[in-house]
Amino acid sequence: MLDTIDWVIIGAYLLLSLYIGYRYKDQAGKSLSDFFLGGRNMPWFVAGISMVATTFAADTPLWVTEVIAQHGISGNWLWWNMLIGGMLTTFFFAKLWRRADILTELEFIELRYSGAPARFLRGFKAVYMGLLLNVVIIGWVNYAMMTILQVFFGIPAFDASIPFFDNEIIWYLTGAMLIVVFYSSLAGLKGVAITDTIQFVIAMAGCIIMAIFVVNEPQIGGISGLKEQLPDWRFSFFPVFDGDSSEEGVYSISLASFLTFALVQWWASWYPGAEPGGGGYVAQRMMSTRNERGSVLATLLFQVTHYCLRPWPWILVGLCALVLYPDLPKDETGQGFVLIMRDVLPSGLKGLLLVAFLSAYMSTISTQLNWGASFLTNDLYKRFIKPSSQFESEEKAQKHYVSAARFFTLGIMLVAIYVTSQIETIDAAAKFLIQAGAGLGLVLILRWFWWRINAWSEIAASLAPLFGYYFFNNVIILQYPYNFLATILLTTVVWVSVTYLTNPEPNELLQKFYDRVRPGGWWSKYSKGEKEGYFKNMMITWFFALISTYSLLFVMGYVIFGEWQQVGIWLAVGSGGSFFFLRFVKKIL
């Protein structure tokens, strides 16, 4: 299956990853800030590429291949819609996260709220997000990696009927995760981010080379041959609505589904990497940059690279897989990507693509482990179990907490391996995460800009979707997107009601928060008549950034497929958007 050159490439890559972990272990061991934020001295481009590398997981090319098989290129609007919220994070929240000067996203809770509700919320989210949701995310990434191992090496799939560790594939997965645990627990965020940067370059280069190689295979015959062998609807960048087209085979979705993607999902639901208002590893990277400007630039680089550069090699390979493997069962269409790696690529290039997938896998796992450990260490262990006041000196406290962080990293890994065995499909895990946070997003946005939001608001918005997920999927059974929209409505009614039925946070705390973060919005009671002039500029910048980025996404796609009239149209639209974007972005940087 693999030749010597392939194993040499894989071995060299793994040694490089381990070396980086060893190289930065001393710096990471100094304090929690060094371990989880890289000493708040991360270059903006490293932080931005690290964000992209984390979203480039082993599961994403397989998922995009599956989407292409089911819906054609237009199916990517399932995630392209999230650029709207991503750009909102870039211009409205990146500066605020850096300005808050906190160690973790959850530390924000006791900066913004007070009393027992704030303490409960911080502790609850430390476990719920840092462990429970985190291992689900790691689990679906592991699930994709197991698929690659099964298809590429012929390793038997996980069999629940035999003892857990008698499954051969569990040992391969454990070995891969132990490598990640080694360098991420030694080097902290700085080592993880630098490794991410190298991993992203390898992974992206490998996928581009693979796409070029496969498109030029004799069975494909280049772009023109690909277009001849597949129906036109596969190449449409935009879906049609039910009833709008009579052409057989054209992908169509209901208007309700499209409006859910375009107008609701990006702001209403918590989802890893696309959290409304920032959050997760995105907030962690923003807080690790040297200054507020670096935070904005890092997040902007992430959005543009994530949406414009990353998907096109996967889309091309996904289309080629339809030609090369037309008879794959519907639930196995994502395997087309791996089958092309196995059957089509020559020695050397095959090893490079395996390294690309290892890079994608390791970058995501290392980030999730570091991010989850930050919650369990800083927001659970340090805050509630062993506070720094119990130590003789701050230096001893910091070293102890770093050791605890490394322990939690290993612990998350062990739990995630078990959870992986319980995940039946990647899609099911993704739908659970989206619906389990349905309606929470609006609170995560408004807590920055509206003084009346309190801890009870966020508690209600965090718990209500869990009830809604169960109720609308098991009691009153609704299909997507209606179950999702019903949960959003339920959550919104609950948290708004709770907000007005409970007292606001103390004036002293709200004043302190405003003075520190200066968020703008509905804070007239605490802003002392100050007007945030850049708030309007941020809205305009956000709007034209969307036009520019979507235009670039379409231009790149139409260039690949030789649709030159469309290239001209979107180039003109993008140029106009970029002109105004560059004019206004200077006012907020």
Q: What is the pLDDT of residues 381-393, one digit of tens each?
A: 999 999 999 998 9
pLDDT (0 to 100) of residue 246: 39
pLDDT (0 to 100) of residue 484: 83
Helix axes 482-501, 455-470, angle to 10 degrees: 150
Q: What CATH number has the domain spanning 4-25+32-436? A: 1.20.1730.10
SS3 label, residue 42: strand
Question: Would you say how long the chain is, in residues?
Answer: 589
Q: Which amino acid is at 549?
A: T
pLDDT (0 to 100) of residue 23: 81
**If we measure between CA atoms, which residue out of 442, 139, 60, 58 comes closest to residue 277?**
442
> Residue 38 CB: number of other CB atoms within 10 A?
29
Round to whole Å and give the CA distance between 209 and 213.
Answer: 6
End-to-end Cα spacing for the chain: 52
Containing 252, the helix (H) or strand (E) segment is: strand 252-253
pTM: 0.88
Contact 424/430 with Cβ under 8 angstroms?
no
Round to whole Å and give the CA distance between 154 and 148.
Answer: 9
pLDDT (0 to 100) of residue 370: 92
| Peptide bond between residue 163 and the one before it cis (omega within 30 degrees of 0) | no
pLDDT (0 to 100) of residue 271: 65
Q: Which residues of the chain have pLDDT under 70?
A: 1, 240-262, 270-273, 424-431, 433-434, 529-534
CA angle, 279 then 130 then 291, to 5°: 35
Q: List 269's β-bridge partners, or say none.
A: 438
pLDDT (0 to 100) of residue 424: 65
pLDDT (0 to 100) of residue 285: 93
* Structure tokens that stand for 76 in this block: 């990517």
Contact 193/44 with Cβ under 8 angstroms?
no
